[in-house]
Homo-oligomer: A and B are copies of this chain.
Amino acid sequence: METLIESHQYLLQYAIKPSVQRSAVMDFLLKNRIHPTIDEIYSALAPSMPTLSKTTVYNTLNLFLEHGAVQLLRLDEKNARYDVDTSAHGHFLCKSCNKVYDIFNLKPSMFQFPQNLQFDIESVEISYAGTCHICKSN
């Protein structure tokens, strides 16, 4: 399939050696911008890849993280979530439906560290939690 070839190329951009499993995981991330958990990724791919193991999904996401191809989100107390969009943006977690929304319209200055070079910043996470507009009206 052409789509998996695209994921293959995408991995190469991050110097990640592609494999069937890695391309499938990246393909899922690129097409489903839902900030999925390991379990969500595994459950989505398992039906079409019966031999896939959850260990491989863990290995794969850790590899993606090391290569900077995904961003780790710790929005709730439970599982880690992964975002294939590594640009500067924030997140909103609805505590009612557990859906994660991207918040793109934050001022760029919010992603700059306020203090004068004292620390070396590697990552910035801006996250909100509450109730989304859909759950609010129910």
Decide yes or no whether A126 CB sits under 8 A from chain B. Answer: yes
Q: How many subunits of this chain does the assembly comprise?
A: 2
Q: A119 contacts which chain B residues (CB < 8 A)?
A: 92, 94, 101, 128, 130-133, 136
Q: Which of B94, B101, B123 contacts A128 (CB 8 A)?
A: B123
Q: Which residue of chain B has its CB nearest to the CB of A124?
A: B128
Contacts of A124 in B (CB 8 A): 126-128
Interface, chain A (partner B; CB < 8 A): 72, 74-75, 77, 80, 92, 94-95, 101, 103, 105-107, 110, 113-115, 118-133, 136
Sample 29 A-B pairs with CB under 8 A, ordered by A number. A72-B77, A74-B75, A77-B80, A92-B113, A92-B121, A94-B119, A95-B122, A101-B119, A105-B114, A105-B115, A110-B110, A113-B128, A118-B133, A119-B128, A119-B130, A119-B133, A120-B130, A120-B131, A121-B128, A121-B129, A121-B130, A122-B130, A123-B129, A123-B130, A124-B127, A125-B125, A125-B126, A125-B127, A125-B129
